[in-house]
Structure 1
Amino acid sequence: MLLILLLTWGITGISFAEVSSQNTDQPVNLTILAINDFHGQITSGKMVNNSPVGGLGSLATYLTDVVNVSGANRTIIALPGDITGASTPESGLLLDEPTLLFYNLFSGNTSGNRTYQPITSCPVVATVGNHEFDRNISELMRKIEGGNADTTIPHLQDPYPGSDASFSASNVIYNSSGELLLPPYTIKTIDTIPVAFIGAVTTSTPSIVSHDNVKDLTFLDEADSINKQVKDLQRLGLHAFVVLLHEGGSQSPYDGQTKSDTQVTGRVVDIVSRLDSDVDVVISGHTHNFTNAFLPNAGNISVLVTQAYSYSKGFANISLAVDPASRDITWKTASIIVPYTNRDSGTRPNQEAARLLNDTINLTSPLINTVISSTQMNISVARDADGESNLYDLVTDSMRYTMQSDLGMINEGAVRADIYPGNITTGKMYEMLPFGNNIITVNMTGEQIRLVLEQQWNRTVATDHMLQISGFNYTYDDSKPVNSRILSISRNGTPIEPARWYSIATVSYLASGGDGYTVMKISQPGVTGPLDVDSLTSYIKLLPTPLVINYDGRIVRVVDPDIVISGIHPGEGSPGDNLQLTITGRNFNNISTISLQHEGSRITGDNLTLLNSTALTCSLRIPITSLLGIYNLSVTNPDGKAGILADTFMVRPLSPPVVTTIRPGSARSGNDISVIIQGNGFLPGINADIEKDEMTISGKHPALLSNQTLSCSFSIPTGSAGMWNVSVTNPDMQSSHLAEALRITDS
């Protein structure tokens, strides 16, 4: 059955009989060049270290330079998702066909009437990312399989030939049939050794793309889905497994080959930890960060995990050695390469890739280069201290104006580029709003609006994507408990009415509960309007030039005033004391901890009672081991805000120690004796001595059993008969002695 599936999925470039007859003992080298989260970045508009990066011509040369060294038959191009979507306008306006045609240049495919000729000949493997679902399933499959369908764009190659990449996704199935959307893996044969490439996309996809685009699909657990395919392929004798995973993490970047002593955070760590012990490499993406590390799989075997930023800012150069006998990957390392345009290979742009880019620019420039306005300021997606963005103010205002709605609302992440000083072009509009969303209206009550605003702090998906608004104002206090942070909502100075219905301009992604804003799903549907990019373009043309968009305070964070401590009573105590403290000050609110600190010693209060905003009480036990000295007092809120009063509480020593008895009270000279000394006021670090005439013998191994009991030993020299005094000394140098308490006799 599995062999039938292999043929069904078009995986025919493998002969297992040929593998089994392999006799050489020499390892087979394999190079993988991995570009994650390309996002249609076909131009060199991004910067790294103040230098331009990417661009099709330069990137192509970087890649082919490596292919020429490693050999096309031992090199694979890997694309772990988000190849398309959220793209530059040059690619996005042509439905990202230029991006997929670029990667076709590496496949060596010369079939059909190709407008652009191959620049090398090595396999290209890929998986889908969440942005591959920015449009519907039919459009995704058209991009992969080819054809013009009902598109209305001009095509660089007509008809569009499709992608030469072998796409796989092991965890995406149709709801109706349970069948996979794509083949779960691709097998490539390297010197007769089969290497499996298994694809998987983040399970968060339904929450971060438009609901309608994935409503017919289920996204299964990544690790479980990958492991299922590994088990199936192990039965066929495969042991070299590379995962293309559109999910990731983060790590501090560095240069050079993979280091073993690095820290990685994010979902990728958990996913890798659950993978079969035969999985060797995970090429990750989605988080747009650097990763080059070894992480343990379920068998505690190191897995090479990579991610090379995003938007053509880098690629992973992965080197593997495969053992012909075991058919397993036995050695692996990687480096993350930045494809600078103005240095190294970037100064020799590949001519065929550059021709593809130039043709794309010529085709799209009439749409991109029209000037619609200008500005002398930065208009940015970045939030101010309150959470407001002046660029999102502009976008949501345009949506509300276009739809003539009461309010406007959009999720962060919907706008993908800032506006900088200078001319504003239609190309900038497409760069900012690359998803092609229609604006819609929904209707919500004032109470539902409050609930969706509260969801900004209680979601588990895209938790950094807050809401941006138009047509109303709200205040919030993020130090308050979750679901109780919205303080006020008003429109034109009048509070929003909880039971009244309001029309809201938004996009279908947010209206369907995207980014975890599930309250939006209970809204009532309204009407559908124009594309967001057309709305914004028309709106900007109506505004004065140069364009000025100031922050207007529509979102206001109410900051709790600082905690101020004015006093504590009592202001002193001794080790072992149990005290009831009263602390006074102002701005006390939901206090969570009270503590005293001195030179690393910390004493914490219990049983806190907030009397009012200016006073509270607590109980405090001073441990017997506490350091003596003057302590600082700290009062802390649950959000970590603290008030501190320095040098305010004294931990004083107890009264001088008192010695009452020593047992045994007699001993013979020339022997070691162990004694118990009893009394009161003994502190940790106490020492004991015995004295007679001008001779002093210090106790050895003193052990404080309680503040009334001390054990230690003495070495009694010969010829020391007589009555000896016993003395004890606390660390604060207060001491006490008991005269003629120990009788020593000669043997």
Structure 2
Amino acid sequence: MSDFKRRLTALLLGAATTGLMASAPVQAETVKLTILGVGDIYNFDGDGESGGFARLNAVAKAERANNPNTLYVFDGDMLSPSLLSGIDEGQNTIDLTNLVPFDIAVPGNHEFDFGPENFEQKMAVSNYPWAAINITQADGSPIQGLGGVMMKEIAGLKVALIPVAQDTTPEVANSGDLKFQPTVDTAIAAAKKAREDGADLVIGVVQTDMSNDRELIASHDFDVIMSGDDHLNAMFYDGITAYVETSIDARYLQPLDLAVEISEKDGKRKISWEPNFRWIDTATVTPDPESMELVNGFKKQLDDNLGQVIGTSETALDSRRNVVRSEESTMGDLIADALLAATKADVTLINGGGIRGDTTYDAGHQLTRKDVLTELPFGNKTVVTEIPGSQLLSALENGFSQVEKGAGRFPQIAGMDVVYDASAPAGSRVVSVTVGGAPLDINKVYKVATNDYMLGGGDGYTALGGGKVIVNAGNGNLMANDVITYIETQKTVAPKIDGRIKKQGE
């Protein structure tokens, strides 16, 4: 290179450097923000080896100790269903979470299993704020104690927390006349508004299914989405939005660390960040001692009250989630048969999603009250209604309408045999129905035993309504008590897969 070219290059580089220095931003500041989310906690002690509140509380304490800039958020479902919640309507979960309070808690559909009044009572004794921007009273007025968007100042960052509940809650829980606005549209509108109000980071704390999650991610109006409901372990980042789906019972936790850079250029504040996803298997976590004291007390309470043997099953029982939501199950048969015996109805129709044990029992297992309440923790009542065969057929069509999704509306039955075609369009899947050995008569009135939740249209069972209610929720027994009585009376039960539910071709 000639001297002239060297001098010209140096001159150009010098000019470029001078220009960069003239417009250089203010020295950037980096803030480490940790977000720990959890939801869908159905067993206060997890499975005994992992999960549960004592291990969760230990992790939350450690995260806050390691980083004062930690947000601890709850994305729905803990008041129910659980064995103990069937007794105390979820107070055990409040006692345990009050030890290490959340920064914000969003109600899931199971927060309403014991009705809106119970949820409001539990909010009142919580040491942390509950919030959801899309739930109001029937007249649109706010619910006392339920907050909205939360703006927090954290180490110089303005962070907006957008709490959103599932708009399908009235279909799957006992939410009374509370009004739920559309989940996705309401969430996105709130995120945009928070950004307009100067939020540096917009974090969605949502109880939404995966399809809604995808819409929220695709909007790119959120920096972070912490989601519950699907019982999955998921972490995702598309370069704009970071997403975490929390696991069931706090078995696995996924703290999200954000390295947030705050700078200023040309007089304008600039925020950039990078995510780091972590994974914690709580089987490796030592339970928090204070929390464990409470857990042990709750376990003793259950053992003292519910350990009584009520009978024996000569056959294996299966209540696994994927089974009761997709096929005939021996546990479903046992429960449906018990309700049929208790009510002397023509048929029993219950939703598989109401069977919650998610386990198997070996042949010869001695059944206890605790076993039954583990399977039926919601406190549902046995009810009886009279409806024509046409409505019973419509109810069955609803039951099979989402079998490919593993939906909780899948039916468990007694007193009838049903053949269905899963490949047919929803609403046209039932191939045949026999009741007491005779073909279903669409004009005949049948006495149907079900639960109060379904009679009220829960899980899409609107076809069960409008009939003559013989036994209502006010005078019906607890389903669990009917099952306990049935087992105690029989002393020995032996449910077998008898083909009462078949796929076409089986």
Query: Could you say whether these structures have the same fold, taking a TM-score greater than 0.5 normalized by the shorter chain as the test?
Result: yes
The partner residue of 2:159 within 195, 201, 206 is 195
Report the counterpart of residue 62 of structure 1 in structure 2. 59
Secondary structure at 1:302 match in 2: coil
Superposition pairs of residues 723-738 of structure 1, within 5 angstroms = none
Cα 1:503–1:27 change in 2 (3 A) is: same
C-alpha change, 1:231 and 1:485, in structure 2 (3 Å) is closer
Output the CA distance in 2 between the equivalents of 1:462 and 1:204.
16
Q: Deviations over 1:216-241 (max 9, x none)?
A: 22222223222333344334422211
Q: SS of the residue aligned with 2:398?
A: helix
Measure, in 2, the Cα distance between the counterparts of 1:483 and 1:59: 43
What SS is found at the alignment partner of 1:530? coil
Residue pair 1:242, 1:282 contacting (<8 A) in 2 also: yes
**Are the equivalent residues in 2 in contact too, given 1:33–1:317 (CA < 8 A)?**
yes
> Match for 1:140 among 104, 109, 119?
119
TM-aligned CA deviation for residue 496 of structure 1:
2.9
The aligned counterpart of 1:272 is: 217
Secondary structure at 1:553 match in 2:
coil
Aligned counterpart for 1:81 among listed residues 76, 82, 87? 76
CA contact 1:308–1:336 (8 Å) conserved in 2: no
Report whether the alignment pairs 1:316 with 2:268: no
Q: Do the aligned partners of residues 483 and 362 (structure 1) sit closer, same or farther apart at CA in structure 2, a change above 3 Å counting?
A: closer
**What is the match of residue 475 of structure 1?**
419
Cα separation, 2, equivalents of 1:307 and 1:485? 33
Higher relative contact order (CA 8 A, sep 6+): 2
* Preserved CA contact (<8 Å) 2:421 2:430: yes
- Counterpart of 1:551 in structure 2 is 497
Is 2:335 aligned against 1:395?
A: yes
Q: Supply the AA of the counterpart residue of 1:431.
A: T
The aligned residue for residue 433 of structure 1 is 376
The answer to whether the 8 A contact 1:442-1:504 is kept is yes
Report the residue type matching 1:533 in the other structure.
A
Q: Is the alpha carbon distance of 1:54 and 1:482 closer, same or farther for their aligned partners in structure 2, counting shifts above 3 Å?
A: closer
Q: Give the secondary structure class of the aligned counterpart of 2:60.
A: helix
Gap change, CA 1:246 and 1:454, over 3 Å in 2: same
- 1:36 aligned to 2:31? no
**1:91–1:360 contact (8 Å) kept in structure 2:** no
Out of 121, 127, 132, the position equivalent to 1:169 is 132
Structure 2 CA distance for partners of 1:313 and 1:530, relative to 1, 3 Å = same
Paired with 1:166 and 1:384, the residues of 2 have a C-alpha distance of: 35
* Structure with the largest fraction of strand: 1
Please tell me the residue identity of whatever aligns with 2:336: T
Distance 1:141 1:385 in 2: 31
How far apart in 2 are the matches of 1:206 and 1:45?
30
1:217 to 154, 178, 192: 178
Structure 1 position 133, deviation (Å):
1.2
- Aligned in 2, Cα 1:387/1:226: closer, same or farther, shift over 3 Å? closer
* Structure 2 match to 1:124: 103
Check whether the contact 2:395–2:461 (CA below 8 A) recurs between aligned residues. Answer: yes
Q: 1:517 Cα shift?
A: 2.8
Whether the 8 Å CA contact 1:35–1:314 is kept in 2: the answer is no
Instruction: Give, as a single letter, the amino acid of the residue that structure 2 aligns with 1:205.
Output: T
Secondary structure, counterpart of 1:165 in structure 2: coil
1:485 & 1:86 partners in 2: Cα distance?
Answer: 31
Query: Contact 2:326/2:410 (CA < 8 Å) preserved in 1?
Result: no
TM superposition shift of 1:459: 5.5
Which residue number corresponds to residue 226 of structure 1? Answer: 187
Aligned-residue sequence identity (percent) comes to: 24
- Equivalent in the alignment of 1:537: 484
Instruction: Specify the alignment match of 1:96 in structure 2.
Output: 90
Give the CA RMSD over aligned residues: 2.6
**2:29 match: secondary structure:** coil
From 499, 516, 520, the equivalent of 2:460 is 516
Q: Is the 8 A contact 2:40 2:248 kept in 1?
A: yes
Q: Deviations over 1:425-459 (max 9, x none)?
A: 21111111110011111111122212222233445
Three-state SS of the structure 2 residue aligned to 1:388 is coil
Cα distance in 2 between the residues matched to 1:374 and 1:510? 29
Mapped partners of 1:453, 1:360: distance in 2: 39
The correspondence of residues 374-393 of structure 1 with structure 2, limited to 5 A, is: 374-375=312-313, 377-381=315-319, 383=323, 387-393=327-333
**1:362 to 1:24, Cα distance in 2 relative to 1, 3 A:** farther
Q: Distance in 1 between matches of 2:370 and 2:299?
A: 11
**TM-fit CA distance, 1:387:** 2.9
Q: Residues 384 and 404 from structure 1, CA distance in 2 versus in 1: closer, same or farther, beyond 3 angstroms?
A: closer
Indicate the SS of the match to 2:383: strand
1:328-352 deviation line (CA, Å, top 9, x unaligned): 4622222232200xxx333xx3211
The aligned amino acid for 2:191 is V
- Are the structure 2 counterparts of residues 558 and 56 from structure 1 closer, same or farther at C-alpha, using a change threshold of 3 Å? closer
**Is the Cα contact below 8 Å between 1:222 and 1:271 reproduced in 2?**
no
- The separation in 2 between residues aligned to 1:292 and 1:90, in whole angstroms, is 31
Helix, strand or coil: the match of 1:93? Answer: helix
Preserved CA contact (<8 Å) 2:325 2:406: no
Secondary structure (helix, strand or coil) at the match of 1:320 reads: strand
**Aligned partner of 1:356 among 294, 301, 311:** 294
Whole-Å separation in 1 of the counterparts to 2:425 and 2:136: 39
Question: Does structure 2 conserve the Cα–Cα contact (< 8 Å) formed by 1:240 and 1:327?
Answer: no
Give distance in 2, aligned partners of 1:384 and 1:357.
29
Tell me the alpha carbon deviations over residues 576-607 of structure 1, each in whole angstroms, 9 at most, x when there is no partner. Answer: xxxxxxxxxxxxxxxxxxxxxxxxxxxxxxxx
State how far apart, in whole Å, the 2-side matches of 1:414 and 1:384 are: 9
- 1:491 paired residue number: 435
Aligned pair count? 466
TM-superposed deviation, 1:24: 7.9
Aligned residue in 2 for 1:632: none
Deviation (angstroms), 1:408:
0.8
Q: Which of 208, 213, 221 is the equivalent residue of 1:247? A: 208
**Is the 8 Å Cα contact of residues 38 and 311 (structure 1) preserved in structure 2?**
yes
Q: Which amino acid aligns with 1:85?
A: S
Q: Which amino acid is the alignment partner of residue 308 of structure 1? A: T
Q: Is the 8 A contact 2:29 2:261 kept in 1?
A: yes
- Judge conservation of contact 1:386–1:556 (CA < 8 Å) in 2: no
Per-residue deviation at 1:91?
Answer: 4.4
Distance 1:234 1:455, change over 3 A: closer
Runs (4+) of structure 1 moved beyond 6 Å?
none
Alpha-carbon distance between aligned partners in 1 of 2:237 and 2:127, rounded to the nearest angstrom:
31
- Paired position in structure 1 for 2:241: 303
Contact 2:457/2:463 (<8 A) preserved: yes
**Residue 354 of structure 2 aligns to a residue in which SS?**
coil
Secondary structure at 2:241's aligned position in 1?
A: strand
Selected match of 2:172 from 171, 184, 208? 208
Question: Residue type matched to 2:501 in 1?
Answer: I
Question: Residues of 2 paired with 1:468 and 1:437: CA distance?
Answer: 15
Q: Distance between the aligned counterparts of 1:237 and 1:331, measured in 2?
A: 20
C-alpha distance in 2 between matches for 1:44 and 1:456: 30
1:238 equivalenced with 2:199 (yes/no): yes
